[in-house]
Structure 1
Amino acid sequence: MNTWFKVYRDLFESDLWNDVTTFRLFILLIGKASHQDGVKVAGVELKKGQYLRSYRKLADDLSYKEGRGKKQYSIRTIHKAINKLISDGRVSKEETEQGTLFTVVNYAKYQDLTETNKKTGNETENELETFGKRSVNNNKNYKNYSIKESNKRDSRKQVYDDTSIYFQLAVFFFEQIKKNNPDHKEPNFQTWSNDIRKMIELDKRTEEQVQYLMKWVQQDEFEMTNVLSPAKLRKRFDQLVMKVKRDRPPSNVTPIDKKKYNYGF
Structure 2
Amino acid sequence: MGGDMKGAFQTSREIFENPIWQDIPKFRIFFYIVGNAVYAEEGAVVAGMHLKRGQFLRAYRNLMKDLEYIENRSVKRYSLSVISRKVEQLVKEERLKIEDTELGTLFTVVNYAQYQGFDHYKKKTWDSVGTDLERDENRDGTELEQGWNNNNKDNKDKKVKKENKKDNTAFEDYTSNPVLLESLNSFYEYRKKSKKPMTDAAIKLLLNKLNDLASDDETKVDILNQSILNGWQGIFPIKDGDKGGRSSGISKHERDSKPGYGGSDRKITSLDKTSNVREFSDEELARLI
Global fold match (TM > 0.5): no
- TM-score calculated relative to the size of structure 2: 0.38
- TM-score calculated relative to the size of structure 1: 0.42
